[in-house]
A = this chain, B = another copy of it.
Amino acid sequence: MPLSVGPKGTRDFFPEDMALQQFIFSSWEKNSRRYGFEPYEGPAFEHLDLYTKKSGAEIEEQLYFFKDKKGRDLALRPEMTPTLARMVASRGNNLRLPLRWYSIPRLFRYEKMQKGRLREFFQLNMDIIGIAEESADAELIAAAIDMMRVLGFTAKDFKVRIASRTLLDELFILCGCAKEQCCKLYSLLDRKGKASPEDFHRSLSAVITERNVLCKIEKILDSQTLDDISRCGGTLPSLKTLQSLFETIDLYGFSEYAVFDIGIVRGLAYYTGIVFEIFDSTKSMRAVAGGGRYDNLIEHYGGPSLPAAGFAVGDVVLAELMKEKGINPSPTGRSFCFINVLEGTDPREVITVAQGLRTAGVSCEFSLKKSSLNKQMKIANAARSPYVLFIGGEESSQGMVKMKNMSTGEEMLVPRDEITNKMAGLFSHHQL
């Protein structure tokens, strides 16, 4: 294994890669904040128990786990929700509800590598705890849609596909399914996208052996809209909830982004009600985001019984989709202002100007070794500095600093004691 390469499935972020990463993170943060969510964080590894005690078996297979030097079983966190549930449970009834929490954890899953899938990645998690009403699901879906909009996506680029586990339950029971068949149907449905229609029909008939039940189930699974559903089970309470959810999303002005999709069940076992996933419009990629209601989880971790809902969005698929749609944040320069020093200049003068600029918050650098103007300009170019100052020479002895705008080529002389204010003004304008 050559030492120059990091472990499989991980990434090195060179400064030129950080522009996109920081654009994603700052968009996530900005959007979470404006929806009134507060940040939280937890450990990058947890007691293995935290994951194995929960039923989502697919997660277990993907864990990086190990023993520490005292023999404790630990695992790198594959998702944030167990940590969130543990933290909420640990405070018992001492938290003032509802909670609106977000986090941007680094996560780890030992998975087969494929497009949009790495073994180390980041997620935005947003959760609302303490609200049983579908208004919380609507608020989360609205926040997820706005998160995509902040990143530059439009209604042509993506859709939120929404369904309800309880609605499926009620429909299956209505069709005459037994309780234990429902679970099997979920896992079938979860893998539906990966199977051919024939294979899916075959697997379905293996679970549902009575012909007329099968027939009803297939009709339900073919539903394209909530109206289709209401024809089979118009009075089901979960249908009312889902209808109200879509009405609320409409109040947010986001109906063009949201569609009903009966096939969304979410692989993880802990969801209890409304579930949703964000896909690119053509569904050519894995889900960009996913979430839903998990009303039993916090109690499961020893906390009080609290209604909860949330979603997560990963950075890897998102970055792929941004690339595909041509969304590219412009890379920022390393320093806003590069100070070029003419030969024979007193170093005191250079450092004084630099520290003045830095104190005013202006990002600034100068060559740390004596070099020709030519070489200094090369460093300034590598640093992508939009402005270069020239200190020394005749202008300096007259108390002036030459300032060059690197994009227009324009040059001007600025009095030495005005340079900080001048650059600070240009810098704050540039930041907007």
A→B interface (CB under 8 Å): 1-8, 10-15, 18, 21-22, 30, 33-47, 49-50, 53, 64-69, 72, 74, 76, 83, 86-87, 89-91, 96, 98, 100-101, 106, 108, 110, 120, 128, 131-133, 135-136, 139, 142, 146, 248, 251-253, 301-303, 334-335, 338, 347-348, 351-352, 355, 357-358, 361-365, 368-369, 378-379, 382-383
Contacts and interface: CB of A to CB of B under 8 A. Distances in A.
Nearest to A66: B66
Contacts of A22: 39
A98 B3 contact: no
A124 B40 CA distance: 20
Contact of A36 (B47, B136, B139, B335): B335
Given A1-B47, A251-B351, A368 B133 contact: yes
Given A96-B382, A110-B68, A301 B4 contact: yes
A6 B80 CA distance: 13
21 contacts: A1-B49, A3-B50, A3-B89, A4-B86, A4-B89, A4-B90, A6-B46, A6-B83, A6-B86, A7-B47, A12-B87, A13-B39, A18-B38, A33-B363, A43-B120, A45-B76, A65-B66, A68-B110, A98-B368, A135-B369, A251-B351
Nearest to A35: B358
A121 to B, nearest CB: 11
A15 B66 CA distance: 29
A74 B101 CA distance: 32
A90 B36 contact: no
Contact of A49 (B3, B362, B363, B369): B3
A40 B13 CA distance: 5
A131 B46 contact: no
B89 A369 contact: no
B42 A365 contact: no
Given A37-B334, A334-B100, A251 B347 contact: yes
Total copies of the chain: 2
A2 B302 contact: yes
Contact of A135 (B3, B357, B368): B368
B248 A44 contact: no
Nearest to A131: B368
B47 A18 contact: no
Given A3-B302, A46-B6, A355-B252, A39 B64 contact: no
B334 A38 contact: yes
Contacts of A87: 12, 14
A146 B364 CA distance: 14
A314 to B, nearest CB: 16
Contacts of A351: 248, 251-252
Contact of A136 (B11, B74, B368): B368
A348 B35 contact: no
B68 A361 contact: no
Contacts of A69: 110
Contacts of A35: 358, 363-365
Contacts of A131: 368-369
